[in-house]
Amino acid sequence: MKNPFVPVPAVLEAVIDETPTIKTFCLKPAEPIPFRAGQFVQLEVPGLGEAPFTPSSSPFEPDRMEITILKTGLVTNRLHELEAGVTLGIRGPFGKGYPIHRFEDQTVLVIGGGVGLAPLRSLLFHLFHEPEACGNVSIKYGSREPAEMCFKRQHASWGERPGVDFTPTIDRPAEGWDGHVGLVTTLLDDLDLDREKTYAVSCGPEVMLRFVTWKLLDVGFPPERIYLSMNRNMSCGMGICGRCNVGSYYLCKDGPDMCYADIKDVPYALG
Ligand SMILES: Cc1cc2nc3c(=O)[nH]c(=O)nc-3n(C[C@H](O)[C@H](O)[C@H](O)COP(=O)(O)OP(=O)(O)OC[C@H]3O[C@@H](n4cnc5c(N)ncnc54)[C@H](O)[C@@H]3O)c2cc1C
Ligand code: FES
Per residue in 38-87, pLDDT tens? 999 999 999 999 999 999 999 999 999 999 999 999 999 999 999 999 99
Kindly state the average pLDDT of the residues 182-206: 95
Name the closest-CA residue to atom 36, ligand 1: 233
Separation of CA 169 and ligand 2 centre (Å): 34
Mutate to test the pocket of ligand 2, among 94, 252, 254 (most ligand atoms within 8 A of CB): 252
Q: Which pLDDT score is estimated for 8?
A: 96
40 ligand 1 Cβ < 6 A: yes
Using CA of residue 198, residue 201, residue 206, residue 208, what is the dihedral sign? negative
Q: State yes or no: pLDDT of 2 exceeds 80.
A: no
Which atom number of ligand 1 is nearest to the Cα of residue 252? 1
Q: Is 248 in the pocket of ligand 1 (CB under 6 A)?
A: no
- 199-219 per-position pLDDT tens digit: 999 999 999 999 999 999 999
Q: Which domains can be identified in the chain, with CATH numbers?
A: 8-94 (2.40.30.10), 100-229 (3.40.50.80)
Among 41, 50, 234, which is best to mutate for testing ligand 2, by the most ligand atoms less than 8 A from CB?
A: 234
- Locate the ligand 1 atom nearest the alpha carbon of residue 255 and give its number: 1
What does the chain look like in DSSP terms, one character per residue? ---TTSPEEEEEEEEEE-SSSEEEEEEEESS-----TT-EEEEEETTTEEEEE---S-TT-TTSEEEEEE--SHHHHHHHH--TT-EEEEEEEES----GGGGTTSEEEEEEEGGGHHHHHHHHHHHHHSGGG-S-EEEEEEESSGGG-TTHHHHHHHHTSTTEEEEEEESS--TT--SEES-GGGGGTT--S-TTSEEEEEES-HHHHHHHHHHHHHTT--GGGEEEE-----SSSSSSS--SEETTEEHHHH-SEEEHHHHTTSTTTT-
pLDDT at position 267 over 70: yes
Give CA–CA dist 123/96, Å, rounded.
13
d(CA 50, CA 60): 25
Q: For residue 83, how far is its CA from the centre of ligand 2 (angstroms)?
A: 30
Nearest CA to ligand 1 atom 30: 73
- Binding site membership of 237 for ligand 2 (Cβ less than 6 Å): yes
Share of the chain above pLDDT 90, in %: 87
Atom of ligand 1 nearest to the CA of 22: 11
Question: For residue 167, what are the contacts with CB-CB under 8 A and spacing of at least 6?
Answer: 138, 139, 140, 141, 179, 180, 187
Rounded distance from Cα 69 to ligand 1 centre (Å): 9
Residue 202 CA to ligand 1 center (angstroms) comes to 17
Provide mean pLDDT across the span 179-183.
96
- Look at residues 153, 12, 148 and name the one whose alpha carbon lies nearest to residue 78: 12
